[in-house]
Amino acid sequence: MNDQASVLRDMASRKNFRHSKMRVIAVTSGKGGVGKTSFTINLALALAEYGQRIVILDGDLGLANVDIAFGLTARYTIEHLLSGEKTIEQILLTGPRGIQIIPGGSGVQRLANLERNRLTNVIANLGRLETIADLLIIDTGAGLGHTVTNFLQAADDIIMVTTPEPTALTDGYGLLKSLKQEAGEVPIHVVINRVQSKADALDTFNRLETAVHKFLDGSLNFIGWVYDDPLVGRSVMKQEPLGISFPESSAYQCIQWIAGKVTGIYLRPPRQAGGVRGFLSKLLRSF
């Protein structure tokens, strides 16, 4: 695990190693309460350790709380960008390790259903993210809402977070079934959260993969697991990400390992990234 991480970190930290187009990764889950936002935030921190420049878009309509998890307070959101009141630079929040956050709120739904006359300004603003970020990570809402589905099918890659709980697996399968119909070409990577052991993680993934292969004629990419760790709850109470408050915890070490795999996907992508313009083009399906 550590050998792979050190090699990838060395590759990613080379100053001349930059892609011309930002990659968009959407993190999702079949149901709420599986640790999706916590995973997203700590994945961003771990990726920053690999030399990646990260922007997080808080895309959870119901529980937009990425800024709170970083101990920050959003004065402006993407709603102010869409209305033309503010620029992308004015709404960005800066978190630890240089991570930039786009507060979402109700503006996320408008972004996914943007009026044509707003396109020019939004494309110009979001296009400037290409100069400051290598990866845009979208923390989507849980479930199968229209806005969530639009974001997922527009992304370059999808990471689905689930747990060994039967309800989480059932809802995760439902999400995968929907994605098979709506976003068939987007690679789906699975993370099993809150596991007691490696065997627990592998058994959970195998059950999910068997159902997907048998009933959906599809495949999944297993990129790792995160141990059930009481330090996660303590970091939430401190309003400080696990990677900042307890970087030596077993859960964060798992996320660092997963970040190495994500960095590998980024450095050697199975398909070319579309950048901001490609992401918006797929999201809006109009230009």
* pLDDT bracket for residue 268 (50, 70, 90): low
User: Rounded to whole angstroms, what are the CA distances from 217 to 136, 180, 277?
Assistant: 30, 9, 31
What is the C-alpha to C-alpha distance for residues 273 and 142, in angstroms, rounded to an integer? 24
Dump pLDDT digits (tens) for 112-124: 666 666 667 787 8
The confidence score (pLDDT) of residue 235 equals 92
Q: Has residue 8 got a pLDDT over 60? A: no
What is the C-alpha to C-alpha distance for residues 16 and 20, in angstroms, rounded to an integer? 11
What is the C-alpha to C-alpha distance for residues 282 and 287, in angstroms, rounded to an integer? 9
To which H or E segment does residue 160 belong?
strand 157-162
Mean pLDDT of the chain: 84
The confidence score (pLDDT) of residue 157 equals 92
Dump pLDDT digits (tens) for 179-190: 887 766 788 999
List domains and CATH numbers for the chain.
2-6+24-160+235-284 (3.40.50.300)
